[in-house]
Structure 1
Amino acid sequence: MPHIVVLGAGVIGLSSALHLQSTGHTVTIVARDFPSGSETIDAQAQINYTSPWGGAHNRLVPPSSAAEECEHAMSLRTFDHMRAVQTRHPEAGITFMKGIEYLEAPSPAYLALSEERARTELGMRGFRPLGKAELPDGVEWGCEYETWCVNPMVYCAFLLRRFAILGGRVLRREVRDPREIFAWAFEAGPVDVLVNASGVGFGDENVFITRGQTCLVANPCPATVTRQNADGSWTFCVPRNFDGGTIIGGTKEPNNWDPNPSPEVRETLLRKFAATYPQILDREGKFTVMKDIVGRRPTRKGGIRLEKETVDENKTIIHAYGLGGRGYELSWGVADGVAQLLSEHLESSTSWYNAQAGEAKL
């Protein structure tokens, strides 16, 4: 049985490792950072390990290009998987709840979104357009639908535990170049294929970081709410549940390496969300702030890199990175893609070796 090494223990690495493991492969995860409780994570030392920091939810966006069509299919695959996991493992940190969308300047794709198309073509369960009286000031269009949120700390730890109890191995180590892993000695034997789910891409000139600042509050919220402002900024909340508080966000700042949260930005985020969804405030009309969060999302020009590469003549790497802020939303769709690429590679390798063996006999 081939030995597959997955580089990275974020949501993409963990999902891919579990999926490959479920198809019978021997899998080892190599990573510098692994899931742990938010109470013990060093915010600045692990700022580049983005999976624990975000508000992890699913937004079903009407696709308007071939790339968006592909991502939408991945999001639907992930939706179905999350439903199945939540049913079998209520402890996994997944909550199904209402998603609310508010748009100040909706595109034609949103304005043309009927209940029939949302249900039949886009797979949006429970879709309902909102009436004018239900929209906050300044919002031109809105809807609600069924979606999911996860508590990242609980969910990622669940995935890692599942991987371990099913026989997976882990190795904590920092990697400077994925190719070095092929030379390491593993308990499971030599590396046959490496899955690069590192996020950063290691020298990919199309990858850049996007700084995001959010605020974690103790206030519960019964829905995940997203508002797209006319200036291109976003106002949102993502409930974590499982005693994880609620994320209020957020900023998207390309190539900003500042690790320090801004108190002024925090106040702006809280003020804007309170105006959008005042139901979240406590009886005194306040937020209970738990912490400011700054994370760096590896983002990629051109979108996801999901492809096979041969390096050093005969070493195979399957790349799975560059999702920006959509790692959780697309995670199981990406894992499917990784499994498909691996299957195609192993089939072609077997055919080649069989052909070589046939020629040798002749």
Structure 2
Amino acid sequence: MMECQEGKRDEIRQHIVVIGAGVVGISTGLNLVQEGFHVTIVARDFPAPFETISVDQINYTSPWAGAHCRFIPPTNETEKREHEMALLTFRHMERLVKDGKQAEAGIRFMKGVEYVERPPQAYLDLTEAKAAELGYKSFRRLDKTELPANVEWGAEYQTFCLNPMMYCAFLLRNFARLGGKIQKKVLQCPQEVFDMPEFRGIAAVVNCSGFGFDDPAVIPNRGQLVIVANDCDVTITRQNKDGSWVVAIPRGYDGGTVVGGTREPGVLDTVPDPLKSKQMLKNLKETHPQILPEGQDFKVLREVVGRRPMREGGPRVEYEVVDRNPKKALVHAYGLGGRGYECSWGVAAAVKDLLDQFAQDVG
């Protein structure tokens, strides 16, 4: 039995196809290559400089993202799983910095600040001791005198921010350097890969497509962003009692700051609303006036819209057996909404474990 499992494991490692070249897809492909798999990433879109990304690529969400890590107090099993994935990713970023890769990868560690106007109980219960148990670094509850007007709860902790173009290019470059292959192609469904002549005989396909190929549980969550040249010294997230948000995520390395605050599930409009952009900048200035020295104003580089693939019930990270002879694995890893960057290496580790589980189950 052990020999059968080893044989199946070796068969799987011969060639894996990962669908999707967003941050989750490339992280997964790179992790598998580092673990000894032979991998091809197949995708419609691949990383490119921010200046060349087109609005036509609105569904390729990674370039538009504000790429940082927010530690959210978990209150259910889905949130606990995502929290563990975020911790794994955080530790991975720490290792990259320790190895001197921060500039090459576009990583900066800095202070993260959270403000909540109407905090739920999970936030009120978040003491320094509880935060330490959850893996927060340098967590501190803010005093009332440190909070902006109308904010009831605030905290700060250590986090990281990424320049997404630099980081995704870094991942892809390392993937290729280690022998990973790349193919540009538009797919209609993940099972299509099994019938492509160049992939015939492969044992597994990993679906990191973001939207999941017509998964009815996945809906686009429209996010409008303003990219400004002004650099912010912290990453800020403010939750207002009316349901709106104030978000500032520094990209660093001359990438400016992502200013956000809209979450519009199911809205497909691709055109930025100038009134919303103006309001987001105004809200940030009121929340964190330090971003603008006296007499200066925001220098807007671009107004963009992205569609975060949000999945009801949480991300799908599991495998199914495709009824072929021999049986194949279709591993799903998509639907992370706005948490792709912060959970990416946790998802990558889970995919590797699922491939090992498949080898054991059918070996």
**TM-score above 0.5:** yes
Q: What per-residue deviation string (whole Å, max 9, x for no partner) do you get for residues 196-244 of structure 1?
A: 0001111211111111001000111111011000012110100000111
Which of the residues 2, 24, 44 maps onto 1:12? 24
In structure 2, distance between residues paired with 1:191 and 1:181: 9
Counterpart residue identity of residue 177, structure 1: C
Deviates more, 1:269-278 or 1:188-197: 188-197
Q: CA deviation at 1:348?
A: 2.8
Give the gaps of 5 or more residues in structure 2: 1-12
CA distance in 1, matches of 2:284, 2:310: 25
Distance 1:311 1:345 in 2: 11
- Aligned counterparts, 1:79-158, within 5 A: 79-88=90-99, 89-90=101-102, 91-119=104-132, 121-158=133-170
Alignment of 1:315 onto 2:337: no
- Any gaps of 5 or more consecutive residues in structure 1? 351-362
| 1:296 match | 307
Counterpart selection for 2:202 from 161, 179, 191: 191
Query: Secondary structure of the equivalent of 2:225?
Result: strand
Q: Report the equivalent of 1:176.
A: 188
SS at match of 1:127: strand
Does 1:337 find its partner at 2:350?
Answer: yes
User: Out of 273, 280, 290, which is 1:262 matched to?
Assistant: 273
Instruction: Look up the SS of the partner of 1:201 in the other structure.
Output: coil
3-state SS, counterpart of residue 126 of structure 1: strand
**Structure 1 residue 114 displacement after superposition:** 1.1
What is the CA distance between 1:287 and its match in structure 2?
0.8
Identical counterparts, % of pairs: 52
Q: CA deviation at 1:312?
A: 4.0
Offset, 1:304: 0.6
For residues 169-194 of structure 1, the C-alpha deviation after alignment (integer angstroms, 9 at most, x for no partner) is 000000011111111133x7632200
Q: Which amino acid aligns with 2:357?
A: E
Separation in 2 of the partners of 1:263 and 1:282?
A: 24
Q: TM-score scaled by structure 1? A: 0.94
Q: Which residue of 2 aligns with 1:37?
A: 49
Partners of 1:284 and 1:246 in 2: CA distance: 19
Are the aligned partners of 2:194 and 2:200 in contact in 1 as well (CA < 8 Å)? no
Aligned equivalents of 1:170 and 1:312: distance in 2?
A: 27
Partner of 2:4: none
Q: 2-side partners of 1:50 and 1:323: how far apart?
A: 11
User: Aligned pair count?
Assistant: 347
User: What is the identity, as a one-letter code, of the residue corresponding to 1:143?
Assistant: A
Deviations 1:73-129 (A, max 9, x none): 11111100011112221210111000000010011111111111111x111110111
1:324 matched residue in structure 2: 337
Kindly indicate whether the alpha-carbon contact (under 8 Å) linking 2:14 and 2:38 is maintained by their aligned counterparts in 1. Answer: yes
Tell me the C-alpha RMSD between the 2 structures: 1.1
